[in-house]
Amino acid sequence: MSFERRNTRQLTVGSVPVGGGAPISVQSMTTTKTDDVDGTLAQIYALAGAGADIVRVTCNTVEAAQGIAEMMPRSPVPIVADIHFQYRLALAAIEAGVSALRLNPGNIRKEEHIKAVARAAADAGIPIRIGVNAGSLDKDLLEKFGGPVPEALVASAMTEVAYFDDVGFHDVKISVKHSNVALMVESYRLLADTTDYPLHLGVTEAGPPPGGLIKSVAGIATLLSEGIGDTIRFSLTADPVEEAKAGRSLLEYLGLRERTGLDLIACPSCGRADVDVIKVASEVNDRLTEMKLPIQVAVMGCVVNGPGEAREADLGLAAGKGKGHLFIKGEVVRVVPESEMVDALIEEAMLIAEQGTEARLAAKDVTAADLAQETRIELLTSQGDANDAERRRAAVADVARSGSD
């Protein structure tokens, strides 16, 4: 399944295309002092390793702009300079060779300053993000609209666009961030109906996990599912590496980016489980996440229904009667003692990554399916069918056949 995406213009941030059907990119922002070149670069490398395609750094001093100049040739990803209040620092960042700018129209308000930056960006061939934030809207807009409502955020963005239009600058992307999820969603919907510039999605000041994660996913995923959004950022009160991981994971779970790491699915467990599913799933998650294998793995607590329910997984484990049943695409390929099942799962995951699922299916233990069926029958006999499937099927058939024409 894929979402039909909104048609937008395309620009490039360094080597990363944004909009126009390009893959949705993940952004984050460093928390270091930008004039600490080595410390900032270390964080940029960590963010790139966690899935960030673009990284933003603050440019609030001359020394920060000088730091950008020094780190640009060494950065693994494009760098965006974040500018507030002082338009000359935007000009300095451009001189430093930055890949893009972010301007906040709420605190750089003079028309001549905005146009000066746009002209310099045009000469340098770099884009600008108009970064509207509900917490720093122009006072005139707040008075006109009665608060930081969607109409006010969009009006702020489009006023800035008009200034850029006046000087022939159109290499623009826009964000209208709000800390209220519902208002953030409505702001972006209104903006998407107003312009075809690419949009940068985010819930501003989302806070620490887990609340910040939930708010960010609620807002960003809602819009992505509607085809709105070209690049995203989770704004968490946490290590920014967590932002990059979350953003990348969200896009992979939505099928908007190719999987690069583990996708673990697991049953919630129940009284039928013979093992601590939560503990097993946690161990599997920790070990496979470190290995960065791009596969989907299922951990199921029941051999009766587990392989069938998780038949789409590349690899799965179902536990029961002191044994672990390893299955690939729903087909049991190995049965091992419970004490060895996690190690066996990790080994099989590595083999799948190296050889592929078809090769591992071809190498299955031919006795595994029979052993799994024996265990399944034993459990059904001793525990019964929790789904009461046979009785329910019979009852449904009786109703269907006994009715009059």
Model confidence pLDDT, tens digit, residues 129-170: 999 999 999 999 999 999 999 999 999 999 999 999 999 999
> Is residue 49's pLDDT more than 70?
yes
End-to-end CA distance of the chain: 39
> Minimum mean pLDDT among 249-258, 280-289, 293-302: which range?
293-302
> Is residue 322's pLDDT more than 90?
no
What region, left, alpha or beta, does residue 316 occupy, with left being phi > 0 and alpha being psi -120 to 50 degrees?
A: beta
> Is residue 394's pLDDT more than 60?
yes
Domains of the chain, residue spans: 10-253, 263-389
The rounded radius of gyration (Å) of the Cα atoms in the chain is 26
Tokens of 156: 């702020």
- Percent of the chain beyond pLDDT 70? 93
Determine which helix (DSSP H) or strand (DSSP E) holds 101, and give its type and residue range.
Answer: strand 100-103
Give phi and psi for 175, each to the nearest 5: -130, 145
Whether the ω angle into residue 208 lies within 30 degrees of 0, i.e. cis, is: no
Looking at residue 62, what is its pLDDT? Answer: 97
Taking residues 212-224, report their average pLDDT: 98
How far is Cα of residue 367 from the mean position of the Cα atoms in its chain?
41
Please determine whether the domains at 10-253 and 263-389 fall in the same fold group of CATH. no
SS3 76: coil
Q: Is the dihedral of CA 203, 204, 209, 211 positive or negative?
A: negative
Rounded Cα distance between 279 and 319, Å, is 13
Contacts of 370 (CB under 8 A, 6+ apart): none
The hierarchical CATH code for the domain 10-253 is: 3.20.20.20
Determine which helix (DSSP H) or strand (DSSP E) holds 334, and give its type and residue range.
Answer: strand 331-337
Q: pTM for the full model?
A: 0.86
Q: Calculate the average pLDDT of the chain.
A: 91
pLDDT digits (tens, 9 = 90+) for 82-122: 999 999 999 999 999 999 999 999 999 999 999 999 999 99
Domain 263-389 classified CATH 3.30.413.10?
Answer: yes
Confidence of residue 383 (pLDDT cuts 50, 70, 90): low
- Percent of the chain beyond pLDDT 90? 74
What region, left, alpha or beta, does residue 199 occupy, with left being phi > 0 and alpha being psi -120 to 50 degrees?
A: beta
> Is residue 404's pLDDT more than 60?
no
User: Which of 219-223, 306-310, 325-329, 342-346 ranks highest by mean pLDDT?
Assistant: 219-223
> Is residue 276's pLDDT more than 90?
no
